Amino acid sequence: MAQVLGPLYPRGRPGRSSWFLASDQCSSGRYGHLGSEPADGRPLSLPLPLSKRLQKELLALQNDPPPGMTLNEKSVQNSITQWIVDMEGAPGTLYEGEKFQLLFKFSSRYPFDSPQVMFTGENIPVHPHVYSNGHICLSILTEDWSPALSVQSVCLSIISMLSSCKEKRRPPDNSFYVRTCNKNPKKTKWWYHDVFFSTFKCKKVTPFVFRDLWI
């Protein structure tokens, strides 16, 4: 399928600026599946290493959740490859007391492939790196992802990103991006550069690594 081309737009992200080019090369998979399925419509079975990794991370999130984060247990009743994490804005920040939801979707290549992560639900945080459709501009969700990272790592990075915000506003390219992007944020082609643009400076968010989650 042909790629949808358009001008490169500067975007901010913690530690770098970025550029995006919307693409429709791939469509997102069905909820609850692994992103693809056989021709007869039956969902793919989970590889054992993936199942073990997800179960370990699920227990870690239940037993030791990051501050303000709670696993929505109803979301994992039907499929372990799609989670919803309830989030509350940290005290003393612009988002104090606000409630959000994060959607995590895992492919069959996880943890070598990063999870699909986005805000969902009725309340999407107003932030320079969060689009109104819930997509998040954060490099650890794409090129800076490592199998040593985890759901907890992502949650802590997003908490840090929101907590360091000094002004509530949408990305400058929000309207264009929301009109042209794929529903799956991982299908957007992002380019990150180690320079700042004066219109949207931001602090670096350091990934949090939980190395004991290795299989």
Active site members: 137
**DSSP notation for the chain:** --------EEEEETTEEEEEE---SS-PPPTTS-S---TT-PPPPPPHHHHHHHHHHHHHHHHSPPTTEEE-GGGGSS-TTEEEEEEEPPTTSTTTT-EEEEEEE--TTTTTSPPEEEEESS----BTTB-TTSBB--GGGTTT--TT--HHHHHHHHHHHHHT--S----TTHHHHHHHS-SSGGGSEEEEES---TT---PPPPPP--GGG--
Q: What are the tokens at 37?
A: 């399925």
Beta carbons of 128 and 12 less than 8 angstroms apart = yes
